[in-house]
Structure 1
Amino acid sequence: MIKKVIEIKRDIEVQDSVLLDWFDMQKPNLCAVTKEGVEFIVKAKYTHLHENDILVCEDGYKIKVSKSEDNIYILTFSDHITFARIAYEIGNRHQPICIEDYKITILEDISTADIIKACESIDKVEIKKTKAIFKPNGNAHHSH
């Protein structure tokens, strides 16, 4: 039986936990399975989940949310023009992004696969694919 989450709380005792990636934590409607194999559904209007949120189900069952690692790309640039051009292209795809000094981190996503492919042929860009917890700048992936 699928449990329905009716409330999101913090700092209370829990029976179970769930690991969610960045994209899943942004969804207002989410179906997932906990570590104990419990299926649940969340319909949270105008919000997204945060690490350490406690999902309270109709029957009182409580599930703690933890972030899982995501597949990410780290792009490191040796010049500011290439850095700016690639940041602009990713921004035009409305994808979440973490921008640091001459470094861009993005999630692996089909919508940016062509940008990553193009960067492979640019000598001024170093590409590293890895798994890590994704932390975008600001209010990334907001709605318009």
Structure 2
Amino acid sequence: MPLPLSQTKIHAHEVDDQITLSYEDRFLRRKVLTSDCGARFLADFPSTMSLEDGDAFVLEDGRKIGVRPADEALLEVTGDHLLRLAWHIGNRHMPCQIETGRLLIQRDHVIREMLHQLRATLRDVVEPFTPEGGAYGHGRTHSHSHGDADPAAPHAH
């Protein structure tokens, strides 16, 4: 039986165990999870959370389970016009990890072809994926809130 989870998301420096999760798996509201050492627990937040590297679950018995990003199949993007390439990626609402001299995105054959046409240098890599949070997404780029605006009203991006 999974242990209930404290509904407090904390930043922990010392943990009793870890859980390694993909980018998609770090976005959750309610789910039974299993730590890297086999501890099962229920994550049950009042609303969907975006977990980041270094966050921790605090179990009812006081144990802390640290969150770390899993290695994922990614596309490394480099080139002479990196800001322009980043703009094209962002214009397609793609999660993007921005680093000095390179961008990392999830592999997508359509985006790969677009970047190839833009003369980007592309390389398949396998590493943890921690993309930049969106302005409205609080850690996720696909949130689509427009504040108090009427959700049925047309809007531009």
In the superposition, the TM-score normalised over structure 1's length comes to 0.69
Give the whole-Å Cα distance in 1 for the aligned partners of 2:81 and 2:58: 49
Structure 2: which 5+ residue stretches go unaligned? 135-139, 145-157
Match of 1:125 in 2: 120
Matching of residue 6 in structure 1 with residue 2 in structure 2: no
**Contact 1:5-1:56 within 8 A present in 2 as well:** yes
Number of residue pairs the alignment of both structures matches: 137
Matching of residue 69 in structure 1 with residue 71 in structure 2: yes
Match of 2:57 in 1: 55
SS in 1 for 2:38: coil
Give the whole-Å Cα distance in 1 for the aligned partners of 2:16 and 2:61: 12
**Percent identity at matched positions?**
25
Residue 17 (structure 1) shift: 1.5
RMSD: 3.2
Residue 130 (structure 1) shift: 0.5
SS in 2 for 1:114: helix
Match of 2:152 in 1: none
Choose the corresponding residue for 1:137, options 132, 139, 148.
Answer: 132
Give the whole-Å Cα distance in 2 for the aligned partners of 1:129 and 1:22: 17
SS in 2 for 1:116: helix
One-letter amino acid matched to 1:4: P
Structure 1: which 5+ residue stretches go unaligned? none
Give the whole-Å Cα distance in 1 for the aligned partners of 2:98 and 2:58: 35
SS in 1 for 2:111: helix
Match of 1:104 in 2: 103
Q: For each residue in 1:45-76, what CA deviation from the matched residue of structure 2 results, as whole angstroms up to 9, or x when unmatched?
A: 25322222221223444312222222210122
Q: Which has the higher contact order (CA 8 A, sep 6+)?
A: 1
One-letter amino acid matched to 2:44: K
In the superposition, the TM-score normalised over structure 2's length comes to 0.65
